[in-house]
Amino acid sequence: MIEHPFLPLFNSESKILILGSFPSVKSREVNFFYGHPQNRFWKVVAAVFEEEVPQTIEEKKEFLLRNHIALWDVIHSCDITGSSDTSIRNVTANDLDVIFNEANIRAIYVNGKTAYRYYQKYMLPKTGRPAVCLPSTSPANAAWNMERLLVEWRQIGGDNQ
């Protein structure tokens, strides 16, 4: 059983919440979200907000907070082999109240079908708040190139105003 190694990123100004499934091995090593250099998350969200791609963890935190984005994962702990979402078993979900109690979240997005499936199963019954499933930015989602990802991910830009 592996526990999520880091806290959610948000503040009282956060308006949109983006949830992944569970941190990859690389993200767990660097102790921050989307730490694998091949994951396109940072490139996609930077393009949505027409900003430079943040490089350091500090720049990434500043970028998210400046754009009113809260970031966390659906899963608090699970059994997982490497970074493979398909190997996830024995899930315990995170408690989103820690974010909802502090921030006025207007929209919830999930990064990929695995995060969406676990959100629907564990979080929707508790929150009663639907989430929009966006295509995964993972390099494993090779069917979606940057251009296609951006078309779908641009909707997050309208919810942070």
Looking at the domain assignment, is residue 44 inside a domain? yes
Q: Spell out the alpha helix ranges (H) of 6-112.
A: 25-30, 41-48, 57-66, 97-100
Residue given tokens 């641009």 in the structure block: 154
- Residue 60, pLDDT > 80, answer yes
Looking at the domain assignment, is residue 130 inside a domain? yes
Report percent pLDDT > 90 for the chain: 84
Give the tens place of pLDDT for each residue, 66-88.
999 999 999 999 998 877 778 88
Residue 18 in tokens: 């983006």
Nearest-10 crossing angle of helices 41-48, 146-153: 50
Mean pLDDT over residues 36-42, rounded?
94
Give the tens place of pLDDT for each residue, 104-135.
999 999 999 999 999 999 999 999 999 999 99
Q: Specify whether the CB–CB gap between 25 and 5 falls below 8 A.
A: no
Element spanning 89, H or E: strand 89-93
Q: Look up the CATH number of the domain holding residue 12.
A: 3.40.470.10
- Residue 161, pLDDT > 60, answer no
pLDDT at 160: 53
Domain ranges, residue 76: 2-156
Looking at the domain assignment, is residue 161 inside a domain? no
Looking at the domain assignment, is residue 30 inside a domain? yes
> For residue 101, which amino acid is it?
N
pLDDT at 159: 56
